[in-house]
Amino acid sequence: MKRREMLLAPAFIRVLRDRPNVLWILGDDLGCELGCYGDRVARTPNLDRLAGEGARFTRFHTTAPVCSASRSAFNVGLYQTSTGTHHHRSHRRDGYRLPAGARPVMERFREAGYFTANVLEMAPGVRGTGKTDFNFTYAKPFDGTHWNQRGPGQPFFAQINFQAPHKGPAFKAARQRRDPADPAKVELPPYYPDHPIVRDEVANYLDAVQMLDWQVGVVLEQLQREGLAENTVIMMFGDNGRCLIRGKQWLYNYGTHVPLLMRWPGVVQAGTVRDEPCHALDMNATSLWAAGIEVPQGYHGRPLLGPKAKAREYVVTARDRCDMTVDRIRCVRGRRYSYIRNFMPERPYTQYNQYIETSYPTLGVMKELHAQGKLNAAQSLFMAERKPEVEFYDLERDPFEVRNLAAEPGEKRRVAEHAAALDRWMKETGDRGGELEEEPARQL
């Protein structure tokens, strides 16, 4: 579907005149395990309907594989590596502020006359967390806790942050709902051993995805009931990839690839599928553009719609310290290839991380089977004593990224092109990943 075919000029003019509301719906640690993305186990009728009524983006990524760094980027419109907010849950006690010119997106909406809200109570049993998780200090990012607190005729920019499918209470609550996912039917990637505990963990994640789908359905019903559905731009997405081994905290596809579903009646044509690489900073820029707010010079995001829309050749993602686990990794990901550079290859994938050790039962299974020599080659990759300096994958032939082609003679030119692209990005965006932290790394 061509971008110009998504825009209906008369409706577009009307929507701008009416100043549409903009609503972000976030699933915490949500990957693309939805029916509309081809998952054959998760039942997600509300999200599937949302995709059918708007656009589904198939190569949408967050710029970081963990919540605080990712949120510090897409709420600002600049890479977290450029603003010094790239280490997970950093700057919690030092009063750190964004660099000059960098501002949270809700401030830009507020200046344009919008009411901003981080929604809490939605309906009985459906409540947002109010999560921000910024790696910078900002006194009052939102005006209120629901769009119904706005003034008469005032448009709103709102976020609803749902905990599901994050590990913890959401996983437990999801197991109490009807029709849990069948562990026997879940599809395991080749780097997971086929073990009952592994299947159960993946199935429980899908249970939480299904609970999130129900919560989103309540939001959609509320908008319809209040007469807001037709003039509200909805963007539904995940703040980082799924909370399973080789997903969250890593730059493989499952770590940053998240859904983006966009509904804008009269502007985005129903059933649109967009397959170009894009990232969450583009979603930020698109939100500003939809509201008629000028996208700032120097923004790292670009609108996905309109005259300034321009398809990307690739997206760059970045991982730095996560909890007490110090690391630095960068990835260039295009339509077919992914290039990963490990700046600290001497640090293994399994260096100690309390959160993963206590919350990911699959890791315990893999450690046990590895010690017994029962993991195959793909499953053993995560247990290696050190990481390769460079990883290069053909996503068309190897979608799970288990065959590293970095040393293949036939890929030398492509590897060099991707390496050069990363070098340019690091220079152009002022990547601060090499700077030492002033405060000690710790579990937060």
DSSP bridge partners of 99: none
| Structure confidence at residue 438 (pLDDT) | 78
**What b-and-e string marks burial along 86-106, b requiring 16 or more CB atoms within 10 Å of the CB?**
bbbbbbeeeebebeeebbbbb
| Structure confidence at residue 439 (pLDDT) | 65
Give residue for tokens 């008369």: 10
Digit-coded pLDDT (tens) for 15-46:
444 799 999 999 999 999 999 999 999 999 99
Give residue for tokens 């972000």: 24
Work out the angle between the directed axes of helices 361-371 and 196-225 (0-180°, nearest 10): 160
Which one, of 190, 248, 237, lies nearest residue 393 by Cα?
Answer: 190
188 CA to centre of own chain: 21
Give residue for tokens 């009269």: 266
Give residue for tokens 């939001």: 219
Q: Supply the pTM of this predicted model.
A: 0.94
Fill in the DSSP letter of residue 411.
Answer: G
Asked if residues 77 and 300 have their Cβ atoms less than 8 Å apart, the reply is yes
CB count within 10 Å of CB 376 equals: 11
Domain made up of 3-313: CATH architecture: 3-Layer(aba) Sandwich (3.40)
Asked if residues 317 and 251 have their Cβ atoms less than 8 Å apart, the reply is yes
- Cβ neighbours of residue 415 under 8 Å, at least 6 residues apart? 339, 390, 392, 405, 406
CB count within 10 Å of CB 21 equals: 23
Residue stretches of the chain with pLDDT short of 70: 1-17, 439-444
